[in-house]
Amino acid sequence: ALAQDAQDISGVPVVATAVHVPDEKVLREMGDMVRTRLNRPGVVVLASSYDERVGIQVSVDPALTKRGLHAGKIAGIVGERLGGKGGGRPDSAQGGGKNKAELGSALDLVARYVRENIK
């Protein structure tokens, strides 16, 4: 269902949303699954709250890493807005922070990043 909620940003399907999952392993698996279901190269950023913090998982299709998008950089931007940090590989990254109140605005940064960096 999440794949159907993708926004089209500069021709790239982008899913950036909060979900409720028990732990980061499930969050990572869900991110990869949603990315596969987009049926074309896309970006998936999922966030979930755990007790005092928010965890984020970023998946970027390898075809898009060649066009200027980097999951680690997205995780860094989103994590920073949440008062934490993030990073990882070009195609897969994690992050998080404790400032749950900023979750909506943090997820909004994903579309801007894609728009400004896609080649």
At residue 102, the pLDDT reads 97
Give the whole-angstrom CA distance, residue 27 versus residue 5: 17
Q: What is the largest CA-CA distance in the chain?
A: 38
Rg (Cα) of the chain, in Å, rounded? 13
Please check the confidence at residue 22 and state whether its pLDDT lies above 90: yes
pTM: 0.95
In whole angstroms, give the CA distance from residue 69 to residue 43.
Answer: 9
Residue 93: partners with Cβ closer than 8 Å, 6 or more residues away: 57, 58, 71, 72, 74, 75, 76, 86, 87
Domain locations along the chain: 2-117
- Across all residues in the chain, what is the average pLDDT? 96
Which one is the CATH code of 2-117: 3.40.50.300, 3.40.50.2000, 3.40.50.2300, 3.10.310.40? 3.10.310.40
H helix and E strand count, the chain: 4, 6
Tokens in use for 91?
């195609």
How sure is the predictor about 98, in pLDDT bands with cuts at 50, 70 and 90? very high
Handedness of CA 20, 8, 77, 92 (dihedral sign): positive
